[in-house]
Structure 1
Amino acid sequence: MPEHLRALIVILFLASVVFLLARRPACDLIPLRDFKRRRNLWFLLTLLAFFSHSFWLYLGAGAVILYIAGRREHNPMALFYLLLFLIPPASLQVPGFGLVNFLVELNHIRLLSVCVLLPAALALRRQGDTLRFGRTWPDRLLAAGLLLMSVLYLRETTLTDTLRQTFYLYIDVLLPYYVASRGLRQISDFKDTLLAFVLASFLLALIGVAEYVRHWLLYSALVDAMGVPWSMSGYLGRGGSLRASVTTGQAIVLGYVMSVAIGLFLFVQGYVRRPWQRLMGALLLAAGLFAPLSRGPWIGAMVIVVVFVALGKGALRRLALLAAAGMLALPLLTAVPGGDKLLDLLPYIGNVDKDNITYRERLMDNAWIVIQRNPLFGSFDFRNTPEMQSMIQGEGIIDIVNTYINVALRVGLVGLGLFLAFFASVLLGMRKAMRSFADKDDERRQLGRALLATLAGILVIIFTVSSITFIPVVYWTIAGLGVGYSQMVRRLHDSQVSELAGSGLQTG
């Protein structure tokens, strides 16, 4: 039996376990019919991917299935999240039929964007109560950043390729952000969407643990079976163990997704009735965070938890307890079997792969020298500079393992400023919205608390990794959810003011 079909058997078994155990707690938040429909769709598309033996067949049949499913879906963002990590986002070029070299590159993420998010965006634009794009500061800053990138593409490539890259910016950035920021109106919509991301992450977590234990990347053979060349399906180890990656292509991306899921789980778990189910979910995500053995996401997850606690009731007392628990955990690890191995993996404490930390420090020093030569708008050939050439690793690549540095090198400090200002405006908007609720236990405040903490953790993690595979689509959509949250609170406030004004007129 081919390796990818043997892997499919394992994947289907593990997914069945997750969906079986998640059914009851999921139905504490959403209707059972929604859970069943999306679960069945996940299995159908997974079977299609593994039995198609052709990426083109998967795209064609998948587009039809998603179009039909999308017509029955009331929350496209939830469907998008549940299916987002279904298969690796390897890309193939659509032929240009003699007119150009190729039209566009397609992958699983873009398939979902076109078949799920694009119809949703068109429907939202037709609704009269949808906030027009450009009315919020995050909209304007994002539009300015995308426009700058589109213009700067002209200096490094042809007009045809510039148009192609601009299309990618729309389909990969603007479209997911727009649907996330406009498509969710009620608290129930956010519950549904965040649950979908957490469920998809449960699947990744259990499969990732299996990869770590069995030393077998279960989706690696699928990419080859579908005839897609992809350089990110290789095996990576750390400390003598395999680093799990599942469908994300890189272990650090899996850790990043797990960290985000932990942040969203902090909100979702409040609606699960049974304590043991909440505990199982938390332990599964923690195991999924450990399996990639990626230290940046570990730090990001800590930031998420600390920010979440700091924004809640009794913050000082709980932060003190959290710090004490952390301090006690370190010496306890030395007495626990396997604890020394875990300590050795910790950044700045252990000795495993210390060269990675040194590489990141050198990257910042060398990149700053390059940035200073073209500070405003960066340069397209920054990789050819002596400083960057000195960063070539054994694989023959220059790994820009820092999203902020990558932005500054490509589009300069102006582009980096717009990038940072966008996220700062989203965070400030959420913080302002949260302050409108005096009751710290209000579910809408809890939602803002989880989203703000999650976005803060994301901004820390992307300091340690470039925007590869699933990383950008996750941070653009989480930012979009933050904008949607702020707008939901604003609408609530406006309706309350209108009701008070109406009651005042009646009394008068």
Structure 2
Amino acid sequence: MPEHFRALIVILLVAGIVFTLARRPATDLIPYADFKRRRNLWFGLTLVAFFSHSFWVYAAVAVVVLTLARKRERNPMALFFMLLFLIPTASVPVPGFGVINYVIDLNSIRLLTLCVLLPAALALSKQPDTVAFGRTWPDKFLGASIALMGLLYLRETSITDTLRQALYLYVDVFLPYYVASRALKNLADFKDALLAFVLAAFVLALIGVAETVRHWLLYSALTNAMGMEWSMSGYLSRGGSLRASATAGQAIALGYVMSVAIGLFLFVQAFVRSKLNRVLGALLLGAGLFVPLSRGPWIGAVIIVAAFIATGRGAVKRLSLLAIAGVLSIPLLTIVPGGDKVLDMLPYIGNLEKENITYRERLLDNSWIVIQRNPLFGSFDFRNTPEMQSMIQGEGIIDIVNTYVNLALRIGLVGLGLFVTFFASVLLGIRKALRQFPDKDDERRLLGRSLLATLIGILVIIFTVSSITVIPVVYWSLGGLGAAYIQMVRRLKHTQTVPLANASLQPR
């Protein structure tokens, strides 16, 4: 039996376990019909991918299936999140049929975006209650960032390639943000979308555990079977254990997804009635965070939990308990079986692969030298500089393992500033919105705390990794969710203010 069919059996078994256990708690938040439809879509498209033996066959079937599913879907972001991690994001070029070399590089995420988010964006733009793009501060900063990147492409490439890159910016950046920021308008919409992300992460988490236990990357054979070449996916180990990656392609990308899911789970779990289900969900995400053996997401997850606690009831006491637990866990690891191995992986504490930390420190030093030559708008040929050439690793690549550094090198401090300011405007908006809910147990405040903590964690994690595979689409989508939350609170404030104003006009 071919390897990808053997992997399919394991994947279906793992997913079956997750969806069976998740059915009852999921229906605490959404109708069972929605859960069932999206679960069946996940299984159906997974089967199509593994039996297609061609990305183009898969794409053709997926377009039809997603078009039909979209017409029955009331929440496009929930559908998008549920299928976001379905298969690896390996790309194939769409041929230019002799006119140009190729049209675009197409992958599973872009296919999903074009089939689900593009029609949703067009429909949203026609609705009278949709805020026009450019009316909010996050819109302005994102629009300026996209425009700057589009213009900077002109200096280094052809008109054809510039148009191609502009299309990527629209599909990869604008559409996830726009639909997320406009489609979710009430608390039920957020429950639906965040639950979908968490459910998809549950499946990835158990697949990751299976990969580590079996020392077998379950999706590695699928890309070859579908006729796709992908340099991202490869067997990596740390401390003698396989670093799981599932469909994320890289271990650190899987860890990043798990960290984000933990942040969103902090909101979702509050609506699950069964304490056992809440505990099982937390343990599964914790296992999914551990098996990639990526230290950046570990730190990010701790920061997410700490930021969430800091904005809640009894923050000082709970943060103190968290800190004490962290300190006590270090000596505890020295006596439990396998604890020394975990301890050795911890950043700045363990000794395992300390050269990775040294590499990141050198990257910061060398990059700053290069950035100072073109500080405002960067340079697309920064990799050819002597400082960057000295960073070539054994694989013959220069790994810019820092999203901020990569932006500063490519589009300068102006572009980096727009990127950071976009997320700062979302974070400040959420923080301001939280003040509308003095009751710290308010469900809407809980949602804001979850989004705020998750975005802070994302901004920390991407300091340790470049924007590869699923990483950028997740942070642009979460930025959109934050913007949607701000708009929801503003509408709520307006509806509360108008009745009061009308009441003051009544004759006495």
Does the alignment reach a TM-score above 0.5? Answer: yes
User: Shift of residue 507 of structure 1?
Assistant: 4.9
Task: Letter of the 2:38 partner, please give it.
Answer: R
Give the whole-Å Cα distance in 1 for the aligned partners of 2:233 and 2:471: 16
The structural deviation recorded for 1:69 is 0.3
Task: List aligned pairs for 1:417-428, cutoff 5 A.
Answer: 417-428=417-428
1:175-206 deviations in whole A, cap 9, x for unaligned? Answer: 00000000000100000000000000000000
* Structure 2 counterpart of 1:270: 270
State yes or no: 1:101 paired with 2:101: yes
Alpha-carbon displacement from aligned partner over 1:259-284 (angstroms, at most 9, x marks no partner): 00000000000000010100000000
Aligned: 1:472 with 2:472? yes
Equivalents in 1 of 2:232, 2:411: separation in Å? 26
Aligned-residue offset at 1:257: 0.1
Amino acid corresponding to residue 365 of structure 1 in structure 2 = D
Q: 1:106-161 CA distances to partner (integer Å, 9 max, x unpaired)?
A: 00000110000011101101100000000000000000011000000011100000
The 1-side partners of 2:47 and 2:122 are apart by 30
Deviation of 1:506 after TM superposition, in Å, equals 2.9
Q: Structure 2 matches for 1:56-455, cutoff 5 A?
A: 56-455=56-455
Task: Show CA shifts across 1:32-85 (max 9, x none).
Answer: 000000000000000000000000011111011000000000000000000000
**Equivalent position amino acid for 2:393 in 1:** Q
Quick one: distance in 2 between partners of 1:94 and 1:268? 39
Partner secondary structure for residue 152 of structure 2: helix
| CA deviation map 1:271-317 (0-9, x unaligned) | 00010100000000000000000000000000000000000011111
**Inter-partner Cα distance in structure 1 for 2:413 and 2:502:** 50
- In 1, the alpha carbon distance for the partners of 2:320 and 2:136 equals 37
Q: Post-superposition shift, 1:232? A: 1.2
Q: Give the corresponding residue for 2:463.
A: 463
Matched AA of 1:83? L
CA–CA separation in structure 2 for the residues paired with 1:75 and 1:504: 38
TM-score (norm 2): 1.00
Q: Distance in 2 between matches of 1:277 and 1:487?
A: 32
Letter in 2 for 1:178: Y
Q: Separation in 1 of the partners of 2:507 and 2:114? A: 52
Q: Return the offset for 1:501.
A: 1.5
Q: Could you tell me which amino acid in structure 2 is paired with residue 39 of structure 1? A: R
CA deviations on 1:213-266 (whole Å, 9 max, x unpaired) are 110000000000000011012100101010000000000000000000000000
CA–CA distance in structure 2, aligned partners of residues 59 and 105 of structure 1: 13
Q: Distance in 2 between matches of 1:12 and 1:485?
A: 35
TM-score, L = length of structure 1: 1.00
Pairwise CA distance, 1:500: 1.1
* C-alpha displacement of 1:504: 2.4
The alignment partner of 1:373 has SS state of coil
Aligned partners of 2:313 and 2:247: how far apart in 1?
38
Structure 1 residue 344: deviation in Å? Answer: 0.4
Q: For residues 76 and 132 of structure 1, what CA distance do their matches in structure 2 show?
A: 19
> Which residue is 1:501 aligned to?
501
CA RMSD of aligned residues (A): 0.6
- Alignment deviations for residues 466-499 of structure 1 (CA, whole Å, 9 cap, x no partner): 0000000000000100000000000000011111
Q: Which amino acid aligns with 2:498?
A: S
Number of residue pairs matched by the alignment: 508
